[in-house]
Every structure is written in structure tokens, then in C-alpha cells.
Amino acid sequence: MAVEPGDGGGPARYTLRAGELRLDLNARLGQRLTLTHTGAIACTHCGRATRKSFAQGYCYPCFKRLAQCDTCIVKPETCHYFAGTCREPEWGERHCFRPHVVYLANSSGLKVGITRKTQVPTRWLDQGAIQALPILEVDTRQQSGFVETLFKREVADRTNWRAMLKGEVAPLDLVAERDRLLEGLAAGLDELRERFGADAIRPLDEAPVTLDYPVLESPTKVVSLNFDKTPAVGGTLMGLKGQYLMFDTGVINLRKFTGYEVSVG
Ligand SMILES: [Zn+2]
């Protein structure tokens, strides 16, 4: 499923990609929709059929071989490129040795996150954030990991997805939160600058972004649906937020089922 910012600050646009099919999900709001898993799963990297999906869309050989499936992607501070053990050094140079942004977001309350500069604002939409503010720019993914680790002393780095889907999220003053955190963590940031260079960690002076989602009605009780348990998932489509489809029967995180072949009805 692809999500893009809405035009002129409107709700995000969701497109379901299933094989050759491109389905405008916003247009299906309020209508009945059923997605049925055929039983087939194809690796999103090599296309090979796999009985089980690893790391949200890969076959087991790709999961073990690709740098993008290594644990250092989730925990960038454990980057081991300089030890000469990167699984794919060229991939690492193209993806990890690129400017990264450290941001604050409000998905189910205040959280810190990191992303490649080119992934803004998609990353925020994927998380169902209603507000976001880039606060620092760094030269590499590893550096962003060290900064995030520092911020985790004060702020969550996870989203409570049930609260996010219920829409019970109060707006925050992200600029005030940024100023408070940068002041409180100044000593830690200075240590990182000593290590990586005086301008390795650059403050950003950007305006907060507000994000909106196409939701007719948020669920009051969140029931999680799963193709592995129930191949046919559907009902009346009530909303789209983060990587979730919200039906009147329950919600499904489509990111988890990347590579699953589905038929749409
Ligand atoms: Zn594969």
C-alpha cells in the first residue's frame, strides 16, 4: 500500500497495490471491501515464492543476506560498516552514508524518530503521525542512531498503535518540545559533536507539519485482523491511517503482509 500527502493539506492519499491492480482506497471509504489472501507470498526483493515472510516481506535467504534486513537498520547505532562486516557495503554507502533527519512526531503522543531525508514526509504518514517536526540533520544513519539513543532517555521511540488508530491523540507544541529537549540534552549532543565533528549534527529550523488521514469514524475498540489467521479480511472501509485499513469489523496493518498475494472484491 502506498501513501502520499494529500493535496493542499487534505487527507493523505492511499493506493492499494496488488499485482497489476492500483486501487484508490480513498474512493472506497464507506463502501464494502474484501481482501482475500490467496495463500501465495512472494519475496519483495527477489520475487521467489516463500512459505513465510521474514522482516515484513522477504524470503529467508534474502532476510539473511541483505543489508536492509540486518539488525543495524533498526538499531543504526550498531552499524558495523567500519568493522568491514557490512553485508553489502555498496548498498550501505548508498543508503546509510546519506543525510538523515532526526524528527519529533506525534502519533500516539510525543516520539522521536529518524529517517533518510528523502523519506520525509512518507515516513510520518506510515506511522500515522498527526504532527511532525524535523529537528536535526546528520551525515549518516549511524549518527542518527546515536542521536536517537540520546533522545530515548526523554522520549518514546514507539507508537502505541491502538491509541493512534482510536485517534485519541491531543495536539502538541512540537517547537516547545524541541527547544526543551535540545536544552536538556545539550551535553549529550556536544559529546557526539566532539566525536563526529563540530558540524556533524546540525540543528534545523523548520516549521511543524500537520498530517491528516481519510477517516470516517475511528474505532472505539481495536480488533486486529490477520491474513495468516483469516484469509478473507474486510467489511465497510471506515478509515485509512498509518499502514492500517480500518474496517467496521477490525483493522489490518498491511505493511506486515507485504508480499502477500491478495484478490480484491
Ligand atoms: Zn528473496
Radius of gyration of the chain (CA): 20
In the prediction, which pLDDT does 244 show?
98
- For the chain, what are the domain ranges? 2-55+215-264, 66-97, 100-210
Q: In the predicted model, is pLDDT for residue 9 greater than 90?
A: no
Q: What average pLDDT does the structure give for the chain? A: 96
Distance CA 242, CA 253 (A): 8
48 CA distance to ligand 1 centroid (A)? 6
23 CA distance to ligand 1 centroid (A)? 26
121 CA distance to ligand 1 centroid (A)? 28
DSSP assignment of 51-96 equals SS-BTTTB-HHHHHH-GGGSHHHHSGGG--GGGT--SSHHHHHHHT
206 CA distance to ligand 1 centroid (A)? 39
Reported as a single tens digit per residue, the pLDDT across 114-125 is 999 889 999 999
Burial tier of 183 (Cβ tally within 10 Å: 0-12, 13-18, 19+): exposed
Q: Which residue has the cell 522477504?
A: 58
Reported as a single tens digit per residue, the pLDDT across 244-263 is 999 999 999 999 999 999 99
91 CA distance to ligand 1 centroid (A)? 16
What's the whole-number mean pLDDT along residues 72-91? 96
Q: In the predicted model, is pLDDT for residue 50 greater than 90?
A: yes
87 CA distance to ligand 1 centroid (A)? 15
Q: In the predicted model, is pLDDT for residue 7 greater than 90?
A: no
In the prediction, which pLDDT does 160 show?
95
Reported as a single tens digit per residue, the pLDDT across 197-237 is 999 999 999 999 999 999 999 999 999 999 999 999 999 99
252 with 225: CB under 8 angstroms?
A: yes
Share of the chain above pLDDT 70, in %: 100
Share of the chain above pLDDT 90, in %: 95
pTM of the model: 0.93
Q: In the predicted model, is pLDDT for residue 194 greater than 90?
A: yes
Reported as a single tens digit per residue, the pLDDT across 84-110 is 999 999 999 999 999 999 999 999 999
Q: In the predicted model, is pLDDT for residue 8 greater than 90?
A: no
Reported as a single tens digit per residue, the pLDDT across 14-34 is 999 988 899 999 999 999 999
